[in-house]
Amino acid sequence: MKRSIRIILLPPKNSPMLHFDRRHFLSLSAGACALGMLPRTMWAQDNSQGKNSSDMMTPAVHRAVEQGLAFLAKRQILSGRDKGAFGTSGYSGGVAVCGLGGLAFMCGGSPPGQGPYGKNVDRCVDFLVANQDKNGFLSVSTGGGSRDNMYGHGFATLFLAEAYGMSTRLDADSTIGDALRKSVKLIVECQNDAGGWRYEPRKSDADLSITICQIMALRAARDAGINVPDETRNKCIEYVKKSQNADGGFRYTLSSGGGSTFPLTAAGICSLYSAGIYDGEAIDKGLKYLMNYLPGKGAESGYYFYGHYYACQAMWHAGGNYWNTWYTAIRDRLLEKQGGDGSWTDDQAGSEFGTAMGCIILQMPNNYLPVFSP
């Protein structure tokens, strides 16, 4: 399949790398549409997802997304110490949910300061910048029991990178850019010798789930013009490759020899695509493994929204029948699961997390965010 040149974390051997310049990006995207959102053609592949992917977002999907985004907007705190967060404690008050909520708004066409939720995106940026420590770690250092760790740091960094690449504010480099560079530096310094990351912001052991959060954050940062060392990229992709089992699925740690799971396999395949690995046995076996978990086909896996967040991206990259079959199935399932107040509830992390993830998944065909783009 022919593929257009695009920004990737690690280019395939002998392939050209498109150098990203944030100022050039802004000059191209300025005034692209009334909402200031990115034109699909800047980042889109050559229709490998299907000729009418945007048409798969039915009127019911648009209504569901608008209700979900409205729910998030109502949950966002507008003043005080927690301004910009989506709660005051627990997961909802942490940087991960803040970053994911910001991504959900941006997936709908609201960059920082623009569009119907541009101010909400700005609040997310401000909250994250305010909750970065001197070492660059993004976490909530005060308040009631936030569960921030390198998960939170990874999701928050990913959002900051997307916001930085799209922001038109004059102080973007000295505010968002500085925070992003510090965050990336921390990720690079915390990578262990095997190429992975663990819960705490220091070198230790590693697991695939947290490692993939950092990989996606690094890809987004590189897209936004932030330097990411080649050694860091190479090592983390090798870690992912070594985590695949013979059945095509992916396991939690290299040392455990554990079984494959749906969420980890979705995340693993997504990270390989982001690294420029489009074809081959690892991809083929991983996609076939994921199809065993097609929504509505069988029992639903744990970590539902986390798994489908990555699975939808993986199928978006795969394109063709994989994408058409998967998106239709998860779209219909999410429409069934949405609550009357517009929210989706995640059993582990709550309604703010679930709603952000649900909105991101349903809006994938918009193709507005570079980090999700094939």
Residue-wise pLDDT for 297-343, tens only, equals 877 888 999 999 999 999 999 999 999 999 999 999 999 999 999 99
Task: Report the C-alpha gap between 312 and 129 in whole angstroms.
Answer: 29
Query: Taken in order 322, 221, 61, 355, is the CA torsion positive or negative?
Result: positive
Domains of the chain: 51-372 (1.50.10.20)
What is residue 256's predicted lDDT score, i.e. its pLDDT?
Answer: 79
Q: Most distant CA pair in the chain: distance in Å?
A: 52
- In sequence order, the 6+-apart residues with CB closer than 8 A to the CB of 364 are 107, 312, 313, 316, 327, 372
* Distance, first Cα to last Cα, the chain: 13
What is residue 276's predicted lDDT score, i.e. its pLDDT?
Answer: 87
What is residue 30's predicted lDDT score, i.e. its pLDDT?
Answer: 38
Regions of the chain where pLDDT drops below 70: 1-52, 142-147
Task: Report the C-alpha gap between 60 and 44 in whole angstroms.
Answer: 24
Q: Is the pTM of this model over 0.75?
A: yes
Produce one character per residue of 112-125: b if its CB has 16 or more CB atoms within 10 Å, e if not: bbbbebbbbbbbbb
